[in-house]
Each structure stands twice: as C-alpha cells, then as structure tokens.
C-alpha cells in the first residue's frame, strides 16, 4: 500500500484533476467563448438524447404529397424530395453526428495513447519504429489518409469511422509520448519505481494521468475534426449511407435540387458548422485553461 | 545551403518508402481476394482455376515482400498500374487531371495567404478592438464550416442566383473563382491565427520600438519592420495548411465538377478501381511531401539560422 500513498501524494496536479481544482476552472469560466462552446455541446447532447421527443415527425416518414416544400408552419425547415421533414432529420442527425465524432476519437485516443506510452517509456528501437510509422501517417494530408482507408476497405459507416480513427492516431501518440518522456524522469515516477512498481503500473498509474490534460484538449478538438471529416466522407457518398439521417448525406442529396430548394442545404450545413464550432470553442477553452502560457 | 538541401532530401527517403508501403498494403486490406480487388468486376464470376491463373499472372501468389519490391520498382519507373475502369495506365490518368488540381490549389493558396495574412495583421494591429474580434470570428468559422458547404453556398449565391459566375466546369478563370474562393477562405483561417499571434509578438520587439522611437510612421513600422519578421512562422504554416487545402480540393472538386485528381480519386473509390485509388493516394501524398520540402527550403532561405541547426 505504501507505494500507492507516495505515488498519490507526490503526483503533480495534472490534467482533469487540475481542471476541477480552482485555478483552471476559474480561467475556463471566465472565457466566454469556451462557456458558449460548452453550452452548445451540452445542448447538442440533449437534442441527440431526446430526439424522438423533440422531432415533430419520424425522420424517415415519407409524405409524397408534401415533397420539396419550403419552410412553413407545418415543416419549419421544409421537406426533402420524399416529403420527409428536414427539422426532424436534422434533430436525429445529431445522434449520428455525435456518434461519428466520439467513436473515432475514442478509438484513436486509445490506440494513440498506447503507442505513445510504449514509445516514450521504452524509447530505443521500439520508439524509433513506432514513431517512424506515425511520421508516415502524418505524411498524408488527413482527408487523403481517410480516403485511402475507405478506398481499401470500401465505403460505409463502419469503414469511414475506422478511417477517421486512423487519421487521429499519430496526434495522440505524439502528445502522450512527449508527456511520458518528460514525466518519466520526474521524482514521483522515480519514487514509484524505487518502491517496486512494475512497468505496467508505472505506465498506467503514474505516466498516463500526466497526459490527461493534453489528451483532453486534443480529444475535444479532435471531435470537431472527426465530425467534419465524417461529414465530408458522407457528402462524397463514402460514409453514412441513406436512409440514415445524417447531415453530410443530406447535403450530398440536397445539392441536386439547387437552386430552387436551398433549404435542403441550409439547415444540415448550419448544424455541422455549429457543432464543429462548439467543440472547437470548448477545446480552445480547455487548452487556455489548462495551459495559461499557451 | 547545398548541404541542408541534401540532408532534407535524404531525410525524405524513409518517409517516401513508408508511404509506398502503406499504399501497397491497401491491396491486402481490401476485403476479398486481391485479384478481385485489382481486376474489379471483370474478374467476377470466374472459376477458381481461372482466378489462380490470374493470381499467378499478376504475381500475387509470391511472397508479399517480393511483391512489394516489385511494386516499388514499378513506381520508381513511373508504372503505377492500370486502371480497372478505363484500362489506361494510372499515371497518365493522374497526369491528365493534375493541371486542374494544381490550378485550383495554387489559386486557393494565393487567396488563403492574402486573406489570412491580411486578417492576421489587422487583428494584431487593432488588437482587442472590433476588427480583432471580427477576424477571430472569421478564423473560427473558417475551421468550423465544412468547405463543401461553403462551396455550395457560394455556388448558390454567385452562380445560380446572381448568375455572375459559372456554377461548375473547367476552362476559364471564371470557372476557377468560386472553387478557389471556397478552398482558399477555409484555409485562410489557420494562417490568420498564426499571423495574428506572430505579429503581436513582433510588434512588441525592441527593434520595432526603436523604429517607432526614430519616427518611422505607423504603417512603415507595421509593414517593413514587423510584418517581414512576423511572416517567418507563417511560411511553415502555409506548408502544413497545404495538406488541408488538398483535402478541401478533393471535396470542392466534387462540388464544382472540377476535373482534378481529387474527383478522380473519389470516383475511383466509388467504382472500386483499386489500382487507380492506390495511384491517386500515392500521387497526392508525394505532391504534399514535396510541397512541404519546398516550404522548408524557402524557410531556410528566409531564415539562415535554420540551416545551422
């Protein structure tokens, strides 16, 4: 038990812990843009959670007598070419959007963190090989890498999620590696090692928490980026497939009805922009709060 | 400088090799038989023996390492394989589409730098005023608004409603304006952000204060003394942003029916033309890597200290 106590007491105030402990939280609260971002994200989560209650119609309910209707009292955002209610589809699209934002970021951060931990902790040849691999992934423009993965695996939601996750991995790996390299020489890590902590324990209990702050910033900004990338893939017809309510897919179909049916484009596009903006504001706010020098 | 260039070129070799490995591996990631992936629908419905014969003919039954070096040898000689759909050499398909992408990327980059640097300088000079906040908002929107959506909005307004410019197609400068503006404005956001930060720092520097003390007028200080030095970090960002710009070009080419490499790639993915997908991915990645090399070299040219690191 003694090593736990030592490790806990001497651990620096890191990441999430610091966020809750006063100074960083105060800085965050004072940052109006960051608070707006947080509120927008919370709203999005609520809309996604209560979509069936909020949507006036079922997202897939077709009404062929009300095709391509402009916004009205009955259909606030208008209807599409099958007479489906755009507002309801935009509301349900929040679910897919959150899913396609969170899942790739979660997968990428888990894999990237493992790579970064191992590379930074063991250094030497393991580090060299892993980091060269990350360099190669970074040598591709991100959307191109996603397209390469979808090109190999085939279009579809699952493969697009994998693609966007692959794009994210090197970012997390690099961040975690740099934190680990700096932290492994710190006294609290040396102390835990001297008390007999094994590699696994050092990595997960001592070094990983040190990276939480940087990871949370990268992940929040990553969600916005993932949503944007997924919307792009779906727009190209390579991501979410019809009839699922997805903002990118709605834009892809809606553009065929230009210029007469502009509302088909306006609302899904605004929804994507607002969502990505919210995560960007939140991510920037987190970064400023956790690292006041930055 | 020659030594620096050589060093940078040598450092590129492992990255380029890694890129070819990844592109080669794509064939093995594809679901099903690699022969089917390579030949597409033409190989559907063939018997097991015919497939085996094709596998041998394409050398797909050999050790993957041998196959990779065979592939690499081909790539080095400009052989990127044959398109399933058109039966044309992949490289000639890519080269016929490249000028269009180059035009779009070049024009977009020019717009991105012009808009980004202007916004960044204005925001820094008028720090904490309405101008600054506006610039920050524009920069935030630039990274949040999907480029294919802003492209569609520009197209709706300027082509379909006002009729000032063509909605799609290729050939004249008028066709170029809308797609280049869509990509360029979206890429300008990051440049604006870095320019602002770098400019704020430079405006506080001692030599800028000295210049002011000597009575150099404001715009002279801003443009001649501060901006020239503030632009150094911006040069690096321009290289990085070029990747985003190429990605934006892929999406924008689809919006505006622009006959570039990006649209070729998307069509190839949709029609499961794997050799063409591999070729296009490799081609765009190499262009991206070379552009970044050029940016790094120009940085070294502008800032001699870098060369001695």
CB A132 to CB B19 under 8 A? no
Q: How many domains does chain A have?
A: 1
Residue A231 touches partner B, C-beta closer than 8 Å: yes
Residue A2 falls within a domain, yes or no?
A: no
Positions of chain A with pLDDT lower than 70, given as ranges:
1-21, 292-294
Residue A76 falls within a domain, yes or no?
A: no
Q: Assess whether pLDDT exceeds 70 at residue B288.
A: yes
Q: Assess whether pLDDT exceeds 80 at residue B38.
A: no
Q: In this structure, are residues A115 and A169 in contact, taking their beta carbons and an 8 Å threshold?
A: yes
Q: Is the pTM of this model over 0.90?
A: no
**Tokens for A209?**
């928490």
Taking the CA of residue B145 and the nearest CA in chain A, the distance in Å comes to: 5
Distance (Å, rounded) from C-alpha A152 to C-alpha A154?
Answer: 6
Q: In this structure, are residues B235 and B295 in contact, taking their beta carbons and an 8 Å threshold?
A: yes
Other Cβ atoms closer than 10 A to A60: 15
- Per CB-CB distance under 8 Å, the chain B contacts of A222 are none
Nearest by CB to A151, from B248, B281, B288: name it.
B281
Q: What is the CATH number of the domain that holds A222?
A: 1.10.3720.10
For position A15, what pLDDT does the model report?
56
Residue A71 falls within a domain, yes or no?
A: no
Q: Which of residues 3-62 of B touch A (CB under 8 A)?
A: 14-15, 18-19, 21-23, 25-27, 29-31
Taking the CA of residue A11 and the nearest CA in chain B, the distance in Å comes to: 33
Domains of chain B from N-terminus onward: 19-86 (no CATH), 104-271 (1.10.3720.10)
CB A236 to CB B19 under 8 A? no
For A153, nearest residue in chain B (alpha carbons): B30
For position A21, what pLDDT does the model report?
61
Q: How far is CA B18 from CA A116, A140, B74, B286, B296, in A?
A: 19, 11, 16, 11, 20
Taking the CA of residue A203 and the nearest CA in chain B, the distance in Å comes to: 29
In terms of Cα–Cα distance, which of A5, A11, A8 is closest to A211? A11
Domain range spanning residue A275? 15-56+84-290
Which H or E run contains A232? helix A208-235
- How much of chain B exceeds pLDDT 70, in percent? 97
Q: In this structure, are residues B100 and B108 in contact, taking their beta carbons and an 8 Å threshold?
A: no
Q: In this structure, are residues A272 and A27 in contact, taking their beta carbons and an 8 Å threshold?
A: no
Residue A139 falls within a domain, yes or no?
A: yes
Residues B118-169 pLDDT 10s: 999 999 888 888 988 888 888 888 889 999 999 999 999 998 889 999 988 8
CB A147 to CB B265 under 8 A? yes
Q: In 3-state terms, chain A is what percent helix, strand and coil (to 5)?
A: 75, 0, 25
Residues B166-221 pLDDT 10s: 988 888 899 999 999 999 988 898 889 888 888 888 888 888 888 888 888 877 77
Residue A51 falls within a domain, yes or no?
A: yes
**Tokens for B100?**
């269009």
Cα four-point dihedral sign A120, A124, A129, A133: positive
Cα four-point dihedral sign A232, B112, A139, A178: negative
Residue of A36, A138, A152, A259 to mutate when probing chain B, most B C-beta within 10 A: A152
CB B251 to CB A143 under 8 A? yes
- Per CB-CB distance under 8 Å, the chain B contacts of A93 are none
Residue A151 falls within a domain, yes or no?
A: yes
For position B306, what pLDDT does the model report?
66
In this prediction, residue B1 has a pLDDT band, given cuts at 50, 70 and 90, of: confident
**Tokens for A195?**
């008390």
In terms of Cα–Cα distance, which of A101, A93, A97, A100 is closest to A264? A93
């Amino acid at each position: 038990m003694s090593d736990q106590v030592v490790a806990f007491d001497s651990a620096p105030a890191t990441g999430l812990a610091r966020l809750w402990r006063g100074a960083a939280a105060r800085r965050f609260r004072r940052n109006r843009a960051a608070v707006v971002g947080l509120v927008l994200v919370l709203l999005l989560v609520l809309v996604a959670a209560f979509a069936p209650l909020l949507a006036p119609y079922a997202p897939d309910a077709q009404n062929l007598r009300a095709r391509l209707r402009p916004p009205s009292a009955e259909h606030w955002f208008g209807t599409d070419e099958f007479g489906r209610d755009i507002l309801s589809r935009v509301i349900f699209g929040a679910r897919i959007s959150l899913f396609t934002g969170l899942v790739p970021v979660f997968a990428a951060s888990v894999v990237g963190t493992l790579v970064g931990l191992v590379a930074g902790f063991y250094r030497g040849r393991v580090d060299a090989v892993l980091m060269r691999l990350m360099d190669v992934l970074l040598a591709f423009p991100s959307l191109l890498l996603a397209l390469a993965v979808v090109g190999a695996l085939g279009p579809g939601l699952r493969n697009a999620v994998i693609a966007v996750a692959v794009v994210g991995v090197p970012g997390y790996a690099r961040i975690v590696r740099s934190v680990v390299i700096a932290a492994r020489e710190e006294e609290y890590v040396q102390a835990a090692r001297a008390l007999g902590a094994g590699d696994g324990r050092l990595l997960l209990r001592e070094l990983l928490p040190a990276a939480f702050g940087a990871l949370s910033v990268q992940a929040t900004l990553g969600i916005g980026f993932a949503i944007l990338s997924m919307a792009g893939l779906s727009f190209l017809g390579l991501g979410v497939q019809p009839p699922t309510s997805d903002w990118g897919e709605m834009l892809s179909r809606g553009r065929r009805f230009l210029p007469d049916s502009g509302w088909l484009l306006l609302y899904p596009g605004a929804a994507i922009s607002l969502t990505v903006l919210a995560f960007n504001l939140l991510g920037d706010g987190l970064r400023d709060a956790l690292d006041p020098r930055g | 400088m020659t030594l620096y260039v050589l060093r940078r070129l040598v450092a590129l070799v492992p990255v380029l090799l890694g890129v070819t490995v990844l592109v080669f591996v794509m064939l093995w990631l594809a679901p099903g038989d690699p022969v089917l992936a390579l030949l597409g629908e033409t190989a559907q419905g063939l018997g097991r023996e015919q497939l085996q014969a094709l596998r041998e003919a394409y050398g797909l039954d050999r050790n993957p390492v041998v196959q990779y070096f065979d592939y690499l040898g081909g790539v080095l000689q400009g052989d990127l394989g044959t398109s399933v759909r058109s039966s044309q050499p992949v490289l000639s398909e890519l080269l016929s589409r490249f000028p269009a992408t180059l035009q779009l990327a070049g024009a977009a980059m020019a717009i991105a730098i012009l808009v980004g640097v202007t916004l960044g300088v204005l925001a820094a000079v008028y720090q904490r005023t309405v101008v600054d906040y506006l610039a920050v908002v524009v920069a935030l929107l630039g990274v949040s608004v999907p480029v294919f959506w802003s492209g569609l909005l520009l197209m709706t307004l300027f082509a379909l409603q006002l009729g000032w410019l063509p909605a799609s197609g290729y050939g004249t400068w008028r066709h170029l304006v809308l797609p280049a503006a869509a990509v360029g404005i979206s890429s300008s956001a990051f440049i604006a952000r870095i320019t602002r930060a770098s400019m704020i720092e430079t405006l506080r520097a001692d030599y800028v204060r000295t210049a002011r003390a000597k009575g150099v007028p404001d715009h002279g200080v801003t443009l001649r003394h501060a901006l020239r030095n503030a632009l150094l970090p911006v040069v690096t960002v321009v290289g990085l942003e070029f990747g985003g710009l190429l990605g934006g070009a892929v999406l924008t080419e689809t919006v505006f029916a622009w006959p570039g490499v990006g649209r070729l790639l998307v069509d190839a993915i949709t029609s499961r033309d794997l050799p063409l997908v591999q070729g296009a991915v490799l081609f765009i990645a190499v262009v991206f890597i070379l552009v970044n090399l050029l940016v790094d070299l120009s940085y070294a040219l502008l800032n001699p200290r870098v060369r001695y690191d």
